Amino acid sequence: MLITCCADGSIYEGNWKNNYRNGNGTMTYESGSKYEGNWKNDARNGQGTMTYESGSKYEGNWKNDARNGQGTMTYESGSKCEWYWKNDNIN
């Protein structure tokens, strides 16, 4: 487990392999957004939860840093929508 700071003010706490984020980890972005979940070769991959600065939250699958597969979006109002995503777009 390693905690690192990035030039943009983000903080990553999690596993590394071959100088890339790999395995389970948490990235807290300077904007206030936070991703908790799996990483592969420095990109969000597998199951993860992204909480946005607005308070909205996405829980679901990621592939190469984009929402991909089944996921649930919970909006700051509390309403929830389940969608299938492809390359960060609702499919």
Residue ranges per structural domain of the chain: 2-90
Over range 51-66, report the average pLDDT.
97
CB-based contacts of 22, cutoff 8 Å, min separation 6? 15, 16, 39, 40, 41, 42
CB-based burial, 13-41: b 16+ in 10 Å, e otherwise: ebebeeeebbebbbbbbeeeebbbbbbbe
pLDDT band per the 50, 70, 90 thresholds, residue 8: confident
Which numeric CATH code is attached to 2-90? 2.20.110.10
CA Rg value for the chain? 13
The H-or-E segment that residue 91 falls in is: none
Residue 74's pLDDT is: 97
Res 91: pLDDT: 87
